Amino acid sequence: MADVFRKAGSRERVRAYLDAHGLAEGLFEFEQSTKTAQQAADVMGCELGQIVKSLVFVVGDQPVVALVPGDRRGNSEALSGLFGGAAVRLADAEMVRSATGYAIGGVSPFDLPSDLPVIADASFSRFEVVYPAAGTPASMVRMQLTDLLRLSDARVADIAG
């Protein structure tokens, strides 16, 4: 099913994925940018920590999506530790698009390749509701943290500081 979604544009891909999981009512699209965590929090009227940054790192040779709260930074040492001490670096724009099918600023944690690891920071447990990107730099999804973790198939770990 995921391959069907990936053939659509990013906006349509996320909308179809959320619709298939009964969560499309939480999708918001805006005139202004939600590309940065602060912009997204301002537009959504929520706490900065509720914003889900989908950061793509390269751990060894493997791309990894790190879901990090908007008020935290991804910790490359923590990611390295989860993957046996492998070298970690932020992915460049080309790697982000290649690994996820999304452009930087709109990386959604949904409809990702099944072999792409997703790690969510444990500090999200502070919130019941979170706001990940919805595939474009001007869209967000309001959802329960439990739905985010389930749909992204994220492993929870301490990966932010």
Contacts of 112 (CB under 8 A, 6+ apart): 2, 65, 100, 101, 118, 152
Cα 83 from Cα 70, distance rounded (Å)? 23
Query: Global pTM?
Result: 0.92
Domain ranges of the chain: 2-157
Q: Which candidate, 6, 1, 45, 33, places its Cα nearest to that of 20?
A: 1
Helix (H) or strand (E) holding 94: helix 93-100
Cα 158 from Cα 75, distance rounded (Å)? 9
In the numeric block, which tokens belong to residue 109?
């944690």
Strands (E), 16-138: 27-29, 51-59, 62-69, 88-90, 118-121, 129-132
Cα 78 from Cα 59, distance rounded (Å)? 11
What is the architecture, at CATH level 2, of domain 2-157?
A: Alpha-Beta Complex (3.90)
Residue located via tokens 């929090």 = 41
What's the pLDDT tens digit per position in 86-143?
A: 999 999 999 999 999 999 988 999 999 999 999 999 999 999 999 999 999 899 999 9
The whole-number pLDDT of residue 161 equals 86
Strands 118-121 and 62-69: parallel
The whole-number pLDDT of residue 5 equals 42
